[in-house]
Amino acid sequence: MISLSIADGIAEVVLNAPSKLNSLDEQALRDLSQAYDDAAAAASRGEVRALLLRGEGRAFCAGRDIAGVTPENDDAEAYLGGLVQPLLQKMASFPAPTFAAAQGACLGVGLGLLLATDVVYVAENAKFGSPFAKLGATLDSGGHWYFTERLGMHRTLDLIYTAELMSGAEAVAQGMFSRAMPGDELLESTRLIVSRVATGATGAFKASKELVAHIRDQRLGLWASMKEENAEQARLCKSEDYAEGFRAFQEKREPNFKG
């Protein structure tokens, strides 16, 4: 149910089980992890300079596939801590810009996949929230941190207690994701953006990706962040893409970055 294709510098990872809303069981998580490993290996060879994650059908990912789960024998810690969290950490550290196009249900682990992606574009009618009140479970896959960070304590607990869902348009308006688009335009528009990024200065993008992660995880202040920026700029100025960018500017032409 997980497929990976690589073309024109872009790795496209697809959740392809639309009949079950792309919900993920343990094997699907392992397959998704392998897809990211394969894409990262291609990136190390210079074959991938951007990645797009999407779901086939009317939902991005409805979360964990619990169809065969027996509650009294369920090892949630093994599933979440042993499979989900390592996957999300691997996704977040992918060595190139990553994008997701999300439509329909984006819940549980599906929400976690988005939180581990650099840039997320959503359909206006996508659905986000915490439906777990109806299961006697709680929000997982980093949802508590992310919701509290973006929405504040009161709105986070409102969503958790009531199990109400936000639309994609509402989620973007409240600062959760980057852009909301009509559903029938989402994939094409996202692919166009990803194709442009895949021809950009990949090394500079990676530097910004790492710096943003440091600001988030280490709570860097202005001057500490600026110090890291200075060091990255000094490193980048020795790269071929840096030289090409300056030449192109001075020659009034489009740059030809090699990544």
Residue 76: what pLDDT? 81
Q: Give me the residue label for tokens 């009618």.
A: 125
Residues β-bridged to residue 52: 12, 99
Whether the pTM exceeds 0.85: the reply is: yes
Closest alpha carbon to 14 in 35, 37, 30? 35
Closest alpha carbon to 95 in 206, 180, 10, 184? 206
For 81, half-sphere exposure in the C-beta direction (CA atoms, 13 angstrom radius) is 4
Please, are residues 13 and 3 in contact by the beta-carbon 8 Å criterion?
yes
Residue 65: what pLDDT? 84
Residue 175: what pLDDT? 95
- b/e burial code for range 131-155 (CB count within 10 A of at least 16 → b): bbbeeebebbbbbeebbeeebeeee
Q: Give me the residue label for tokens 């650099």.
A: 118
Cα–Cα distance measured from residue 257 to residue 66, given in angstroms and rounded to the nearest whole number: 45
Give me the residue spans of the domains in the chain: 2-197, 202-250
Cα–Cα distance measured from residue 29 to residue 83, given in angstroms and rounded to the nearest whole number: 7
Q: Give the pLDDT of the chain (259 residues) as one tens digit per residue.
A: 899 999 999 999 999 999 999 999 999 999 999 999 999 999 999 999 999 999 999 999 999 887 777 777 778 888 889 999 999 999 999 999 999 999 999 999 999 999 999 999 999 999 999 998 888 888 999 999 999 999 999 999 999 999 999 999 999 999 999 999 999 999 999 999 999 999 999 999 999 999 999 999 999 999 999 999 999 999 999 999 999 999 999 999 999 999 8
Phi/psi region, residue 252 (left: phi>0; alpha: psi -120 to 50; beta: rest), is left
Residue 64: what pLDDT? 87
Fill in the amino acid letter for 92.
Answer: A
CATH architecture of 2-197: Alpha-Beta Complex (3.90)
Residue 232: what pLDDT? 95
Strands 179-181 and 50-55: unpaired
